[in-house]
Structure 1
Amino acid sequence: MTETGLPLAGLRVLDISSFIAAPAAAVVLGDWGADVIKVEGPEGDPNRRIMHDSSNYPKSEVNYPWQMDSRNKRSIVLDLKQADARAALDRLIAVSDILICNFPPPVRDKLRLAYEDVKKVNPKLIYASLTGYGESGPDRDRPGFDATAYFARSGLLDAQRYEGGPPGVPGPAQGDRATAMSLVSAILMALMHRMKTGEGSWVGTSLLGNGLWSCGVIAQAALVGAFLPHRPPPDRPRSALGNIYRTADDRWLQLTIVRADKLWAPLCRAMGLEALIEDPRFATEPERRARAGELAGILSDTFATRPYEHWREALAAHSVTFGVISRPQDVPDDEQAVACGAVVETAIPDMPRTLADPIRLGFATPRVAHPAPALGEHGEEVLREAGVSAEEVASLKASGALR
C-alpha cells in the first residue's frame, strides 16, 4: 500500500507540544499517513537536547530521542509571543484537522490557545490536550512529567518497591509513551465523531489518569479498602511460582505460574525436581504458599546450576510460563522483536533501525521513518501551503515572528 493509501493520509496535524508524551502521539498519527507539522518556539522543543540535558539518557553521537519522537514531521518556528506569529498560526489552524497541545491551562489562556479560542477559527478542528494532572481540580495548572504524575502520584512507584527499600526511579519516558497511545485513541474517537456529525471537538488525557489506569489492580483495590504490604524480597516471596530467579550465566528469569494445579508437575519435571511433585511440603497451593521461602530456595539453587539457554528450552518444552528479563542491550539481537514488527528499518542514515509504534493493521503497514526536521526547516513551505503569500512570509521573517 502506498503512503497515500494509509488510513490517516490527507489529515493535517499541528503538533504544538514539547518533550515526549504529546509529540509521541503525533508520531503515531504520522506513522499512519497524517501530515504532521511541528510548531516550535524560537528555542525549539527541549526534546531536541534532552539526551544531553538529562543524566538518565544513554549518550550517543546519534540524537536518537529527537529522531524517534519527531520522525516524518515538518518543522516551523513561530514566536507565539508576537501577534503576527499568533495570527500566522491561526492560518494554519484554519486548514488543519487536529491540534495537539500540552501547554498547562494558564499558558494556553495566555497564548489564546484554549479550545474555545481555536474553535472560533476552525469549528471542525479536533483539539487534543495532554496534561499532567487533568483539566480540572486543584492541581490542573501544575506541570507534570511522567516521573512525577504518571509514576509517583499514581502509586506505581510505591506499589513496585520491595519492603524496606526506596521507590525505584523509572527509566526515561516510560509513562509518556503509554500515555501517548491514550491520546491517539481519543483523537481517533474524535475523528469518528466528526465523520458522524461534522463537528470538531476537544479530547484529552493526563499522565495521572494513565498512571492510575496502569496501576489499576492496586489502585482499584485501594478504592475498596484493600492493600498489600510492600513486596518481600525474592528469597521469601509471597509465591515461589511468581518470582524471579538467577541463572548460572547471570541472567534472570521471571516465573509466572497462575495455574499451579496444572503446571506444578511440569515445572518440577523441567527442572529435574520430580521428587518435589509428591513432596507433602508442597503438595497443594496453600502449602506451597505457606512454605514459599523454602520452595524459593530450592528453585533458586537449581536455576543457578544451568545457563539461561538451558532453562529456556527446558521450561518451554514443558509449557511452563516464564519470561527472560531482557537487558536493553539485548534488544538489537531480539529476533522476535523484529519478527513482530516492533523493531523496523528506517530511511534515517545515522539511525538505520527504530522502534515502531505498537499498532498493527491487517490492511496497511506504517510509513517508513524519515529524518526528524531541523529547527524551522519547513516554515515557509508550510505557510505557503496554508495560503500565506510570499510577501507575508517575508514580513514575518523580518519581524522575527517566523524564524
Structure 2
Amino acid sequence: MAGGIFEGLKVLDCASFIAAPAAATVLSDFGADVIKIEPPGTGDPYRVLPKLPGYPISPHNFAWLLEGRNKRSLALDLSKPEGREVLYRLAAEADVFITNFPPGVRKRLGITYEEIRPKNPRLIYASFTGYGEKGAEADKPGFDSNAYWARSGLMDLVRADENTTPARSIPGMGDHPCAMAFYGAIVTALYKRERTGEGSHVSSNLMANGLWAAGVLAQAKLCGAQFQERRPRERALNAVTNHYRCKDGRWLILSLLNEERQWPTLARCLGREDLINDPRFATKPDRHARSLELIAIFDQVFATRDLAEWRAALDGNGLVFGVVGILDDIPNDKQMIENEVLLPFENDTMLTINSPIWVDGSEKVKPKRPPDIGEHSEEVLREAGYDEAAIRSLKTSGAVG
C-alpha cells in the first residue's frame, strides 16, 4: 500500500497539547490526510511551547516538528458563526474529528458530538480530556503532569522512599502513551464502522491512562494488599534487579528475573566467580536476605569500569540488563536507526521520532515538515467547494486566516 493504510482517510485535528494531536500524527504516518484546525494569527498554542522558561534552546521548533508533521493547516476562528459553518462542511466529508476541548467549550462553540453527528453519521468523533467526560471535574483543564503523572500515583510511586521529593515528569511523558491509547480508540471505531456503517463517539483521558500505567500497584491496592516499605536503591531487596553506577558516571540496570539460572553467569561476567560459591550468597533466599551486602559488592565492582566496557562484558550472555540512557545517546543509537525508531524528514537529514507501530506490507509515509499557520487554508477550502469569492469573504470576516 504505497500511500499508506489510511490513504484517503480525512481527519480533522481540532486539538492542542499534546495527546490528541499526537494521535492524529500517528494516523498521518499511515497516510491519512490530517487537516490541522488552529486559530488565525496565533495558531495552535503548542507552537510556542519551546519558548517557555527552562526548555532547550534551539533554532528549530522541536515540539512542533514532532506533533505537527505531515499535516495541513487551516486557520479557522470557531468563535465566529462563519468559522463553525466551515467546520461543519468539512466534518460532513471527514472520517475522523479529533478534539480535546473540554465538554463545556465544545458546547459553547457548537461542536459537540450531538451537533456534528447529524451532518455525518459515519464520522468518528474522538474527544480527549484531562479527567473524563462526566462528573464534577469534566471541564477541569489538565496536562499530563497533573492529570496523568500526579493524579494516578505515579509521581509518588517513583520516589526512592517516603522522604524523597516527588519526581516531576518531563514534557509529553504521559501525553505520548495517551496518544497511542487514543489512536487505538479511533482505529477501533473505524473497524466498528466497517462492520456497521455507523460512526461513533470515542473518548479517552489523561487520568484513566495514568491509572492504567500505574495499574500493577493500583490493582494491588484495590485488592487490599499489604504494601512493604519503600526502600532506596542502596537498601533494595534484590541486588540483581537494581541499578549501578559505572566508573564514568553512567548507570545500568540489571533485571535478572530468572535468578537461579543467571546468577553464576552474572558472577563470571563481573569477574567475581568467587561469589558463586560464597556461602553468604549460595541460594536465592540467601542473596535476598543479604541484599545490602551484595549491593555494596556490586557497587564496588561496577565502579571499576566504564559503561561501554560493562555493556561489552554483559552482552551476549543471556543476561537481561539495560543502559540508563541519556539524551546524548539518542542521535547515534544504531538500534533505533536500524529499526526506524528514528528516521529523517523527507528530503532532509534531520531525524525525527517515528510512531511506535509498524504493519508488515504497508510503508509509512515519509515524515514531512509541519505547516505554517494557515498555510493550507485556501487549498482546503477549495477542496471543500468554496469558490474564490467565498474564500475572500471568509478571510475578510476573520473567520479564516
TM-score, length of structure 2 as denominator length: 0.97
Q: C-alpha distance in 2, partners of 1:145/1:110?
A: 22
Q: C-alpha distance in 1, partners of 2:227/2:48?
A: 41
Aligned to 1:377: 375
Shift of 1:316: 1.7
Cα pair 1:105 1:114 within 8 Å, conserved: yes
Structure-2 change in CA distance of 1:142 and 1:177 (3 Å): same
SS of residue matched to 1:127: strand
Shift of 1:181: 0.4
Q: C-alpha distance in 2, partners of 1:228/1:374?
A: 52
Shift of 1:138: 2.3
Q: C-alpha distance in 2, partners of 1:318/1:84?
A: 66
CA RMSD of aligned residues (A): 1.3
Runs (4 or more) in structure 1 with deviation over 4 Å come to none
Shift of 1:54: 4.7
The code of the aligned residue for 1:14 comes to L
SS of residue matched to 1:49: helix
Q: C-alpha distance in 2, partners of 1:183/1:243?
A: 33
Aligned to 2:60: 62
How many residues align? The count is 399
Deviation per CA, 1:87-106: give whole Å up to 9, x if none: 11111111110000000110
Question: Are 1:309 and 2:308 matched, yes or no?
Answer: yes
Q: C-alpha distance in 1, partners of 2:117/2:245?
A: 57
Q: Which runs of 5+ in 1 are unaligned?
A: none
Shift of 1:2: 2.4
Shift of 1:348: 6.2
State, as a whole percentage, how many aligned pairs show the same letter.
Answer: 46
Aligned to 2:283: 284
Aligned to 1:320: 319
Q: Counterparts of 1:1-400 in structure 2 under 5 Å?
A: 1-3=1-3, 6-42=4-40, 43-55=42-54, 57-163=55-161, 164-229=163-228, 231-347=230-346, 349=348, 352-400=350-398
Deviation per CA, 1:232-279: give whole Å up to 9, x if none: 222111211111101112110101111111111111111111111122
SS of residue matched to 2:12: strand
Shift of 1:137: 2.2
Q: C-alpha distance in 2, partners of 1:99/1:227?
A: 45
Q: C-alpha distance in 2, partners of 1:129/1:337?
A: 32
Structure-2 change in CA distance of 1:324 and 1:372 (3 Å): same
Shift of 1:228: 3.3
Q: C-alpha distance in 2, partners of 1:150/1:202?
A: 22
SS of residue matched to 2:36: strand
Deviation per CA, 1:161-220: give whole Å up to 9, x if none: 011101100111011000000111111111111111110100111111111111111111
Structure-2 change in CA distance of 1:208 and 1:273 (3 Å): same
Q: C-alpha distance in 2, partners of 1:348/1:176?
A: 28
Q: Which runs of 5+ in 2 are unaligned?
A: none
Deviation per CA, 1:360-398: give whole Å up to 9, x if none: 111112111111111011111101111122221111111
Cα pair 1:348 1:369 within 8 Å, conserved: no
Q: C-alpha distance in 2, partners of 1:231/1:324?
A: 23
Cα pair 2:160 2:233 within 8 Å, conserved: no
Larger deviation, residues 383-392 vs 149-158: 383-392
Q: C-alpha distance in 2, partners of 1:258/1:353?
A: 35
Q: C-alpha distance in 2, partners of 1:142/1:197?
A: 34
SS of residue matched to 1:397: helix
Structure-2 change in CA distance of 1:198 and 1:54 (3 Å): farther
Cα pair 1:160 1:231 within 8 Å, conserved: no
Cα pair 1:17 1:101 within 8 Å, conserved: yes
Shift of 1:47: 1.2
